[in-house]
Amino acid sequence: MAGTGFESPPKNAGKLAIAYRSGAESGALGTDDGRFDIDLAAVVDAWPTLPDAIKEGILAMIRVAT
């Protein structure tokens, strides 16, 4: 019988969202000026078109900084 029981939703509905405000309701620090989120969004948008060497450089900088 098709259409009975519980059905799982699709894993990816094709929609992605980037929140432009951050910080939990518990009072965690976030960015109120939006600068960080805009910069991060620019990196995310450009990522698929970046050469592998650039991606590796960005990841190396993140690993050193954290």
CA 14, CA 10: separation in Å to the nearest integer? 9
Q: Which residue has the tokens 């948008």?
A: 45
Q: Would you say residue 42 lies in a domain?
A: yes
Q: Would you say residue 1 lies in a domain?
A: no
- Could you tell me which residues come within 8 angstroms of residue 24 by beta carbon, excluding any fewer than 6 positions away? 30
Q: Would you say residue 28 lies in a domain?
A: no
Tell the burial category of 66 from Cβ atoms under 10 Å away from its Cβ (0-12, 13-18, 19+).
Answer: exposed
Q: List the single range of 2-6, 10-14, 48-52 with lowest mean pLDDT.
A: 10-14
Query: Which parts of 1-66 fold into alpha helices (H)?
Result: 35-46, 52-65
Q: Would you say residue 45 lies in a domain?
A: yes
Task: Give the pLDDT score at 37.
Answer: 83
Q: Would you say residue 52 lies in a domain?
A: yes
Q: Give tens-digit pLDDT for 21-33.
A: 555 555 555 555 5
Number of domains in the chain: 1
For residue 24, CA distances in Å to 16, 20, 34 come to 20, 13, 15
Structural domain containing residue 41: 35-65
Q: Would you say residue 25 lies in a domain?
A: no
